[in-house]
A and B are shown apart, each in its own frame.
Chain A
Amino acid sequence: MYTTELGKSATVKSLEDPKLLEAFEARVAADEFIEPKDWMPEAYRRTLVRQVSQHAHSEIVGMLPEGNWISRAPSLRRKAILLAKVQDEAGHGLYLYCAAETLGTSRDEMIEALHSGKAKYSTIFNYPTLTWADIGAIGWLVDGAAIMNQVPLQRTSYGPYARAMVRVCKEESFHQRQGYEIMIAMAGGTPEQKRMAQDALNRWWWPSLMMFGPPDEDSPNTAQSMRWRIKRDTNDELRQKFVDITVPQADFIDLKVPDADLKWNEAKNNGAGGYDFGEVDWEEFYAVVRGEGPVAKERMAARRAAWDDGAWVREAAVAHEEKRRARAAA
């Protein structure tokens, strides 16, 4: 899973030692990795904390739409797969929280920011999963888009983030494949199953394109983030790549991408060819970012309930350790 870049723009403060700043910029420009104890500009640290924690939150909230279907998976095989996938998402969230913590923020602060609504997470998880085909579409499209976003981040300039992304990417590939496999099965099934598959594609296509974030001209952070190698490709470049790879996959299983403007264009991608596609409804995107997504409230309520319901387990673990220590000391 992945988060789009949703925060405010990062401006470089000139209060910092110009020599340190210059040395830092040179290291990053030379594709060196920055490690936790190295000097870094405050804006770099802030931008990373925001991006990595949003990414972590997205993994955690991303468990909810799919968790919704674990008990109703159509076979034991599918159930075992979905359980493993959801467990992976939890793991990805944990890798990323740890990476963010190396920047000087605490797990508590991040969880609090998520639960209070202060922190953002990917807009994609504020859409409902209505049928089993949605689980296929999520794996195929949402995880597909996530992989496209994440692969370049394995070379992001901040070492702990890059290492977390290497692990995530290794594990994410099965997520995308199992999703497409569900779609193959449903698209090749009964007419009703095929209708469900088409319906899921219709509902998830545009939100998936939104996952790459606003168009480049409306993405003020992109230039700075690319200079700092926090980001390696622009939103529009990645979106184009996703469309070019995904449309033939839809064709292959005889499903129709819900875009009347979709057309092959030989001149695209420097003559290699690519698809022209319609305009994403950015009003909808910004509405979901503002928290007006169809199931935004349910997601946060479920998240907070899980946290609160687990409080006694956390308290018991601490009490147990305190008792053990007291005994050892006696």
Chain B
Amino acid sequence: MSGGAGGDWPLWEVFVRAKAGLSHRHVGSVHAPDAELALRHARDTYTRRGEGVSLWVVPSAEIVASDPDEAGPLFEPAQDKIYRHPTFYDIPDEVKHI
């Protein structure tokens, strides 16, 4: 939302830790002029029902993302390496599985 200077406040990505023992997870974003207000807005917008015990806000502009057009070269090489999965190996039923 715009302030006096015009234009939108910077965008922040919001991450919530649902409970201790779980990682923070991306839930959405908020606009805010600074980090403190970003946290407050994130709290009001994304945790009205006890959805979390901890919040992270990160300036959206600071996130470096992989290019969707590069998804092939980046991720496809992993797909034919099925020997990286345990199901690739046949172990006789007679012996105990670890």
A107 and B37: CB pair below 8 A?
no
B4 and A314: CB pair below 8 A?
yes
Say whether B86 faces chain A, with CB atoms less than 8 Å apart: no
A164 and B68: CB pair below 8 A?
no
Contact of A37 among B9, B29, B68 (CB under 8 A): B68
Say whether B67 faces chain A, with CB atoms less than 8 Å apart: yes
- Residues in B neighbouring A167, C-beta threshold 8 A: 27-28
* Contact flag A318-B9 (CB < 8 Å), given A91-B48, A164-B28, A171-B49: yes
B5 and A111: CB pair below 8 A?
no
A98 and B34: CB pair below 8 A?
no
- Residues in B neighbouring A95, C-beta threshold 8 A: 28, 45
A318 and B45: CB pair below 8 A?
no
Q: Across the A-B interface, how many residue pairs have beta carbons closer than 8 Å?
A: 69
The docked-state distance in angstroms from the alpha carbon of A166 to that of B61 is: 26
State how many residues of chain A have any CB contact under 8 Å with chain B: 29
CB-contacts of B36-77 with A (<8 A): 37, 44-46, 48-49, 65, 67-69
A320 and B1: CB pair below 8 A?
no
A318 and B5: CB pair below 8 A?
yes
- Residues in B neighbouring A321, C-beta threshold 8 A: 33-34
A94 and B68: CB pair below 8 A?
no
A94 and B45: CB pair below 8 A?
yes
The winner among A87, A171, A315, A318 for most chain B CB atoms within 10 A is A318
* Contact flag A98-B30 (CB < 8 Å), given A37-B67, A318-B3: yes
Closest Cβ of chain A: how far from B87's Cβ, in Å? 25
The docked-state distance in angstroms from the alpha carbon of A164 to that of B46 is: 11
Say whether B2 faces chain A, with CB atoms less than 8 Å apart: yes
Contact of B44 among A35, A91, A108 (CB under 8 A): A91
The docked-state distance in angstroms from the alpha carbon of A321 to that of B34 is: 6
- Residues in A neighbouring B29, C-beta threshold 8 A: 98, 101
A94 and B30: CB pair below 8 A?
yes
The docked-state distance in angstroms from the alpha carbon of A314 to that of B7 is: 11
Say whether B18 faces chain A, with CB atoms less than 8 Å apart: no
- Residues in A neighbouring B31, C-beta threshold 8 A: 107
Interface 0/1 of B2-35, CB less than 8 Å to A: 1111111101000000000000000111111110
Interface 0/1 of A68-109, CB less than 8 Å to B: 000000000000000010011001001100100100001110
B interface list, Cβ under 8 A from A: 1-9, 11, 27-34, 37, 44-46, 48-49, 65, 67-69
What are 10 sample pairs from A and B whose C-beta atoms fall under 8 A apart?
A: A91-B44, A91-B45, A94-B45, A95-B28, A95-B45, A106-B7, A107-B31, A171-B49, A314-B3, A317-B9
Known contacts A94-B30, A315-B5, then 13 further A-B pairs from the complex at CB < 8 Å, ordered by chain A residue: A35-B68, A38-B68, A87-B48, A91-B45, A91-B48, A107-B1, A108-B2, A314-B1, A315-B3, A317-B3, A317-B32, A318-B4, A319-B4
